[in-house]
């Protein structure tokens, strides 16, 4: 009897189209996490600077800030599957080229940053098209579960990607992480090719792209519920998520561990993510999402603050499991609010704005926290971000009534 709710949480996987996309994304995201870990490790080996680690998300942020809202408008205008084909090819090409440059011993920091920026432009179109496709694959009452499972493909694959990267970095080098990531994008291409449903017709064809984007921004501004979800997501990504970019520096300068230890640290939040997203799916019918956002943000910042001052690798791993749980729980709850509250004709554009916050504005937080870390150290820098998140979570209910 107790297994029934858990089985129901995974019910969207019974649908062929959703199952194909889920499997393809899990494989592809595992490759992406491998590249994220290997890329940071490579840059730190080339420079030895936490600030350069923070430059990676900054170079990724610029095209996401510029193009993600445009990608959302494109997702409302055009066939989302065609957009996804193009983005997979672009991102695979960037990963393959970085692998070749690394193998040849010609790789330099500016090359890593440039390819990260180009790949990020592909992600700016990929994310809103992929996220807004979900309601077309499952019944409306299963959308919250589909969102949680979709998030699991990214956050859950964080268990395997960094762990594999840590082993490959130790055994054969960063280039193989990049090659395998390039190959992993084919899983999404094959999944989309095997999906069966009628081509989607355009609904946001009137007006310019700027007007289309402005309509979505106006809808968010006029809805306290949508604005609340966007605010929680933005504050966590800006002040909390930089810990992932600073992990290489924390592993080396604070814990004094090797590539395998770094891989374990990077993988640990993914373990918690599996449980956090399962909790979101189980609570999908609950009306208390506003309270869940506040509680999740408070506990995420508290666990990350504890991690910043732990000096044992094992305890750091345990604390990061909790960090992953509450981060994924809060982020998935915020995206669920956006998905179920957004009008169908605006969903792609609203998710484009969401992507601008999570993938564009967020990396600027990494630059800020990374710059602080270069002066006062990683633990203090992370602590400052945690205190800001905690203060926001405490005060937010008085504003979003």
Q: What is the pLDDT of residues 49-95, one digit of tens each?
A: 777 877 887 888 888 888 887 887 788 777 878 888 999 999 999 99
For residue range 169-209, list pLDDT tens digits in order.
Answer: 888 889 999 999 999 999 999 998 888 765 555 454 566 66
With a cut of 50, say whether residue 25 has pLDDT above it: yes
Count how many Cα atoms sit within 13 Å of the Cα of residue 354 in the half-sphere of its side chain.
33
The average pLDDT across 253-271 equals: 84
Distance between CA atoms of 381 and 372, rounded to whole angstroms?
Answer: 6
**pLDDT of the residue at 260:** 81
> Residue 1: which pLDDT band, with cuts at 50, 70 and 90?
very low
Q: Distance of alpha carbon 250 from its chain centroid, rounded?
A: 21
Question: pLDDT higher for 233 or 91?
Answer: 91
Residues 6+ apart with CB under 8 A from 3: none
Q: Return the CATH class of domain 8-194+206-399.
A: mainly alpha
The average pLDDT across 262-267 equals: 84
> Residue 5: which pLDDT band, with cuts at 50, 70 and 90?
low
Nearest to 168, CA basis, from 157, 156, 181: 181
Total-model pTM: 0.71
Q: Where are the domains of the chain?
A: 8-194+206-399
**pLDDT of the residue at 101:** 95
**pLDDT of the residue at 185:** 94
For residue range 336-357, list pLDDT tens digits in order.
Answer: 777 777 666 676 677 777 777 7
Hey, which of 13-17, 215-219, 272-276, 383-387 has the most confident mean pLDDT? Answer: 383-387
Give the N- to C-terminal CA distance of the chain in Å, as an integer.
38
**pLDDT of the residue at 372:** 92
> Residue 285: which pLDDT band, with cuts at 50, 70 and 90?
low
For residue range 137-177, list pLDDT tens digits in order.
Answer: 888 777 777 877 877 787 667 667 877 888 888 888 899 99
Q: How far is CA 67 from CA 38, 283, 316, in A?
A: 26, 33, 36
Question: pLDDT > 70: what percent of the chain?
Answer: 90
**Average predicted confidence (pLDDT) for the chain:** 83
Distance between CA atoms of 112 and 68, rounded to whole angstroms?
Answer: 21
3-state secondary structure 290-301: HHHHHHHHHHHH
For residue range 108-135, list pLDDT tens digits in order.
Answer: 999 999 999 999 999 888 888 887 777 7
Nearest to 246, CA basis, from 65, 370, 151: 370
The average pLDDT across 267-293 equals: 78
**pLDDT of the residue at 222:** 72
Q: How far is CA 34 from CA 16, 69, 103, 134, in A?
A: 27, 27, 16, 25
Distance between CA atoms of 47 and 111, rounded to whole angstroms?
Answer: 13
> Residue 388: which pLDDT band, with cuts at 50, 70 and 90?
very high
């Amino acid at each position: 009897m107790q297994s029934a709710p858990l089985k129901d949480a995974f019910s969207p996987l019974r649908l062929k189209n959703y199952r194909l996309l889920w499997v393809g994304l899990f494989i592809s995201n595992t490759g992406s996490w491998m590249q994220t870990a290997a890329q940071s490790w490579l840059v730190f080996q080339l420079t030895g600077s936490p600030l350069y680690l923070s430059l990676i998300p900054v170079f990724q942020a610029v095209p996401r800030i510029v193009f993600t809202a445009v990608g959302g408008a494109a997702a409302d205008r055009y066939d989302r599957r065609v957009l996804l084909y193009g983005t997979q090819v672009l991102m695979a090409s960037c990963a393959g080229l970085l692998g070749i440059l690394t193998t040849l011993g010609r790789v330099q920091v500016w090359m890593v940053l440039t390819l990260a920026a180009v790949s990020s432009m592909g992600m700016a179109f990929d994310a809103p098209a992929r996220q807004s496709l979900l309601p077309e694959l499952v019944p409306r009452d299963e959308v919250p579960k589909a969102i949680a499972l979709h998030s699991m493909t990214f956050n859950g694959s964080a268990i395997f990607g960094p762990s594999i990267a840590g082993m490959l970095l130790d055994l054969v080098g960063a280039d193989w992480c990049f090659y395998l990531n390039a190959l992993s994008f084919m899983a999404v291409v094959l999944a989309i090719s095997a999906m069966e449903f009628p081509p989607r017709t355009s609904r946001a064809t009137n007006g310019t792209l700027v007007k289309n984007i402005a309509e979505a921004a106006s809808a968010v501004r006029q809805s306290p519920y949508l604005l609340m979800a966007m605010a929680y997501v933005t504050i966590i990504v800006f002040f909390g998520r930089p810990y992932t970019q600073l992990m290489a520096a924390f592993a080396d300068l604070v814990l004094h561990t090797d590539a395998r230890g770094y891989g374990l640290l990077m993988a640990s939040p993914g373990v918690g993510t599996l449980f956090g997203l399962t909790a979101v799916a189980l609570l999908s019918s609950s009306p208390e999402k506003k309270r869940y956002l506040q509680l999740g943000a408070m506990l995420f910042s508290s666990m990350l603050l504890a991690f910043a001052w732990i000096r044992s690798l094992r305890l750091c791993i345990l604390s990061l499991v909790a960090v992953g749980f509450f981060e994924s729980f809060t982020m998935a709850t915020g995206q669920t609010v956006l998905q179920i509250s957004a009008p169908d004709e605006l969903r792609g554009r609203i998710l484009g704005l969401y992507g601008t916050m999570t993938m564009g504005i967020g990396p600027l937080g990494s630059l800020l926290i990374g710059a602080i870390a270069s002066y006062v150290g990683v633990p203090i820098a992370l602590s400052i971000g945690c205190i800001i998140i905690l203060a926001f979570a405490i005060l937010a209910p008085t504003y979003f009534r």
